[in-house]
Structure 1
Amino acid sequence: MVLIKDIDIYSLCEHHLVPFFGKVSVGYLPKDRVIGLSKVARIVEIFSRRLQVQERLTRQIAEAIDEAIQPRGVAVIVECVHMCMVMRGAEKVNTRTTTSAMIGIFLTDAKAREEFLMLGHTRSL
């Protein structure tokens, strides 16, 4: 498994036009090709710099890597603080939102999924 974790992201919520920020962990199981580590960070950056919702961001990262190198599987975890939760509405300062996307072997093989989740889950910002 190739795992790149704790990639910093900064984005803007498309619903409230306020920032959200956090960390991304990306794992994939290569088949025939690999991708440069910095390219994974760039893919994360490309999608996070748009007006965005975290759920879609997570899925877009996984799908872009899957399309680019067609690995055996891709897994992505995104953990963020949303300023719309901190500054307005519920005003919950310590709330974090975690989303995940799994493609390929990470959906069908519990051991692969478990390994990624154990190694890749970001525990703090």
Structure 2
Amino acid sequence: IIGKAHVAYIPNGKVVGLSKIPRMVNIFARRLQIQEQMTEQIASALQDCLAPKGVGVMIEARHMCMEMRGVQKINSITSTSALRGIFIKDERTRKEFFDLIKIR
């Protein structure tokens, strides 16, 4: 998998340094698993550790198994998302998150 992880959270008291989020993403990305599961794990880990008002995670990735063998669809992007808290409840917050990453 080659891709990008977009991660957002709205603090509820606890704030982490910016370097901690990519480190956490890398921990989950190095495991043998599927993209959908990884997306959910990142969102759940942030929710469990920080107890924020909300969490949004969007992963966009190219899968080499699709490009190199099987259907051989070059540059095919798979997008998965996981939302928690205010990102689910408040449409404006959700829209702002997706607008910031240019996904609708």
Same fold (TM over 0.5): yes
Cα distance in 2 for partners of 1:104, 1:120 equals 19
User: How do residues 1-125 of structure 1 correspond to structure 2 at under 5 angstroms?
Assistant: 20-121=1-102
Rounded to whole Å, the distance in 2 between the matches of 1:102 and 1:59 is 8
The one-letter amino acid paired with 1:38 is S
Give the secondary-structure state (helix, strand or coil) at the position aligned to 1:114: helix
Any unmatched runs of 5+ in structure 2? none
Q: What is the alpha-carbon distance in structure 2 between the residues aligned to residue 40 and residue 70 of structure 1? A: 15
Deviations 1:36-94 (A, max 9, x none): 11001111000000101000000000110111110000000000000110011100002
Q: Which amino acid aligns with 1:57?
A: M
Decide which structure has greater strand share. 1
TM-score w.r.t. the length of structure 2 is 0.95
TM-score, normalization by structure 1: 0.80
- SS of equivalent residue, structure 1 residue 52: coil
Q: Which runs of 4+ in 1 moved over 2 A?
A: none
Q: Please report how far the alpha carbon of residue 116 of structure 1 lies from its aligned counterpart in structure 2 after TM superposition.
A: 0.5
Identity %: 50
Amino acid in structure 2 at the alignment position of 1:22: G
Q: Which runs of 5+ in 1 are unaligned?
A: 1-19
